[in-house]
Amino acid sequence: METFRSVVGHKRVISYLQESVRSGHVSHAYLLDGPDGVGKRLVATLFTATLLCREGGDEPCGKCISCRQMDSGNQPDVTWVTHEKSVISVGDIRTQLCNVVQVKPMAGPYRVFIVDEAERMNAEAQNALLKTLEEPPSYAVILLLTNNAESMLPTIRSRSVILQMLPAPEDELVEWLMDRAKLPDYRARLAAAYAGGSPGQALACARSEDFAKMRDAAVSMMKAVPTMREDRMSQLAKDFASGKDAQETTLALITVWLRDVMAYKAVGKKAKLMYQEDADSVAAHAESLRYEDVWALSEELSKIRANRAVNVNMETAFWLFLLKMQKYFKDAE
């Protein structure tokens, strides 16, 4: 079983939760608010395990019957509220929470309800939940996990302890990835930079074969841009536009590439580059491109990322990006 000590980041949230267990001042509702992949589920699980652990410490002991039930997902006093549709309906909240909250805990001092993706509750569901929050039984603890606390009714927010879960500092994440996923440091740094401080996402991409393939594809594309033929460029733009799921990853990988080019321009050293295996190519780009070119290309990428949401023609946008990049190389000759 995990422990609080093995969690990357979230030191303040964790010490707050541990202190509430130690002092016995456990609130009826907590709102864990932070971006996807930041560690909300992990922290909620550890907090729940601690509340119900028979040893009564401020960490789950990992050995008692309750901790073992937590590990296998069978703790009878814990309910993960599930939903089948994309919204969490009033039916979901009533049947799994409001209607059963009066049933006393089987064994421990608390009965815990966890609502993941709580931002998906519609207004009716939130109103139903609010009724329970207004008069909760003494043993009830409700954990609301959300990437958008603003989507909760103010009356729910005011009855909850709001815990802000911020992305982990990049350095901490890199160390954790090296330790956990046994990655060499430059790989860990690429995954961490790519994931923007989200351990879940960083670990997923560090372990994913697709990610390794996409990384290699992005690198060969970058290497080829200076001498790329027009038909190849059009093909890449077409592929980019049709591979919806891959777009964000590709854009992020190119962003990190440009960050590397910028870093090499600034310090002229290969040691700290994310694309360590391709440091020679990064250096070559850095020598050909001017600062303002790299800057303009990065800006262009952020624009493409932002525009994905509003259905701009991705094929043209990406094609123009490649064309612009090639032009900067040609200008430098």
Stretch that binds Zn ion, among 65-73, 113-121, 145-153, 269-277 (CB under 5 A): 65-73
* Minimum CB–partner distance for residue 111 and Zn ion (Å): 17
* 241 lines the binding site for Zn ion (CB under 5 A): no
Stretch that binds Zn ion, among 66-74, 103-111, 116-124, 318-326 (CB under 5 A): 66-74
DSSP for 302-318 reads HHHHHHGGGT--HHHHH
Torsion of CA 153, 158, 161, 167, to 10 degrees: 50
Q: Tell me whether residue 53 or residue 101 sits nearer to Zn ion (CB atom).
A: 53
Q: Tell me whether residue 110 or residue 329 sits nearer to Zn ion (CB atom).
A: 110
Q: Tell me whether residue 67 or residue 256 sits nearer to Zn ion (CB atom).
A: 67
8 Å CB contact between 163 and 30:
yes
Closest by alpha carbon to 317, among 303, 327, 328?
Answer: 303
Q: Tell me whether residue 42 or residue 64 sits nearer to Zn ion (CB atom).
A: 64
* Minimum CB–partner distance for residue 46 and Zn ion (Å): 11
The crossing angle, in degrees rounded to 10, of helices 230-242 and 314-332 is 140
* Minimum CB–partner distance for residue 47 and Zn ion (Å): 13
Q: Tell me whether residue 62 or residue 196 sits nearer to Zn ion (CB atom).
A: 62
The crossing angle, in degrees rounded to 10, of helices 185-195 and 199-207 is 130
* 166 lines the binding site for Zn ion (CB under 5 A): no
Stretch that binds Zn ion, among 59-67, 77-85, 154-162, 317-325 (CB under 5 A): 59-67
SS3 label, residue 294:
helix
Q: Beta strands of 45-195 (E only): which ranges?
A: 78-81, 111-115, 140-146, 161-164
8 Å CB contact between 123 and 95:
no
**What part of residues 107-146 is at the interface with Zn ion (CB under 5 A)?**
none
Going by their DSSP bridges, the two strands 161-164 and 29-33 should be labelled as parallel
Instruction: Give the rounded distance of the alpha carbon of 326 from its chain centre.
Output: 33
* 53 lines the binding site for Zn ion (CB under 5 A): yes
Among 1, 21, 64, 217, binds Zn ion (CB under 5 A): 64
Stretch that binds Zn ion, among 25-33, 45-53, 99-107, 298-306 (CB under 5 A): 45-53
Q: Tell me whether residue 7 or residue 165 sits nearer to Zn ion (CB atom).
A: 7
SS3 label, residue 42:
helix
H or E element, residue 70: helix 65-72
SS3 label, residue 183:
coil
Q: Tell me whether residue 106 or residue 310 sits nearer to Zn ion (CB atom).
A: 106
* Minimum CB–partner distance for residue 2 and Zn ion (Å): 13
Among 38, 67, 190, 317, binds Zn ion (CB under 5 A): 67
Among 21, 61, 98, 217, binds Zn ion (CB under 5 A): 61
Residue 312 has φ and ψ, to the nearest 5°, of: -70, 150
- Distance between CA atoms of residues 272 and 284, nearest Å: 16
Total binding residues for Zn ion by CB under 5 A?
5
Closest by alpha carbon to 101, among 111, 114, 90, 89?
Answer: 111
Q: Tell me whether residue 70 or residue 118 sits nearer to Zn ion (CB atom).
A: 70
Stretch that binds Zn ion, among 8-16, 63-71, 106-114, 241-249 (CB under 5 A): 63-71
> Distances in Å between the alpha carbon of 327 and those of 217, 233, 235, 289?
21, 13, 18, 10
Q: Tell me whether residue 67 or residue 114 sits nearer to Zn ion (CB atom).
A: 67
* Minimum CB–partner distance for residue 142 and Zn ion (Å): 22
Stretch that binds Zn ion, among 67-75, 210-218, 257-265, 269-277 (CB under 5 A): 67-75
SS3 label, residue 223:
helix
> Rule CB under 5 A: which residues touch Zn ion?
53, 55, 61, 64, 67
